[in-house]
């Protein structure tokens, strides 16, 4: 676990150094630990490995993620549980000194998903919000979200990128 975090931390510093040495290159497009995590998430969601994320695949993944985050098993995600979810992003934010941007981003994503304003997300609200975000990321309108659309246009992926890099 410590090795994984250290590996991410070392990789996380590379894009900033490379971008400084190469003006005009967008840092998030370079090899980056946070980008690698996002791309890995997309591949995990794409259960049939066809390069596309269907609404069913997003719904299934959202429910699995919900179960992983809901540590007290009460059926409602709190901000604390969301912030406690360990996927490597918080560690990258800390390494880059972007904790404040990361916290603001996580709070914004939580607020967007919290449709009823209850300050908690039930499984339906969480999955429904992510399925709707998948539909919004479908830039070419073909009814599915490609892995590139997941990386570049999906709400959570975009939020992570903005918080950690830009």
Is pLDDT of 69 > 60?
yes
Sign of CA dihedral 107, 112, 113, 114: positive
Task: Answer whether residue 14 is part of any domain.
Answer: no
How many other β-carbons are positioned within 10 Å of the β-carbon of residue 11?
Answer: 17
SS3 (DSSP) at 63: helix
Which CATH number covers residue 84? Answer: 1.10.238.10
Expressed as residue numbers, the domain containing 84 is 40-164
Query: Strand, helix or coil at 99?
Result: helix
Q: How many CB atoms lie under 10 A from the CB of residue 85?
A: 15
Q: Would 126 be classed as within a structural domain?
A: yes
User: Does a structural domain hold residue 24?
Assistant: no
| 83 within domain boundaries | yes
Q: Measure the CA–CA gap between 1 and 49, rounded to whole angstroms.
A: 27
In terms of average pLDDT, the best of 9-13, 71-75, 82-86, 95-99 is 71-75
The answer to whether residue 2 sits within a structural domain is no
pLDDT, one tens digit per residue, over 105-140 is: 999 999 999 999 999 999 999 999 998 999 999 999
Instruction: Give yes or no for residue 145 having a pLDDT over 60.
Output: yes
Residue bearing tokens 């800390």: 94
Is residue 22 situated within a structural domain?
A: no
Total structural domains in the chain? 1
């Amino acid at each position: 676990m410590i090795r994984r975090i250290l590996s991410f931390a070392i990789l996380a510093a590379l894009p900033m150094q490379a971008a400084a040495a190469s003006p005009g290159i967008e840092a998030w497009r370079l090899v980056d630990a946070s980008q690698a995590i996002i791309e890995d998430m997309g591949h995990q969601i794409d259960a049939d490995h066809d390069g596309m994320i269907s609404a069913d695949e997003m719904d299934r993944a959202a429910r699995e993620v919900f179960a992983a985050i809901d540590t007290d098993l009460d059926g409602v995600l709190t901000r604390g549980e969301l912030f406690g979810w360990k996927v490597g992003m918080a560690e990258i934010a800390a390494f880059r000194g972007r904790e404040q941007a990361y916290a603001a981003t996580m709070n914004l994503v939580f607020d967007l998903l919290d449709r009823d304003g209850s300050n908690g997300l039930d499984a339906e609200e969480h999955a429904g919000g992510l399925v709707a975000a998948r539909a919004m990321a479908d830039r070419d309108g073909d009814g599915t979200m490609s892995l590139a659309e997941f990386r570049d246009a999906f709400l959570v992926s975009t939020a992570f990128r903005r918080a950690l890099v830009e």
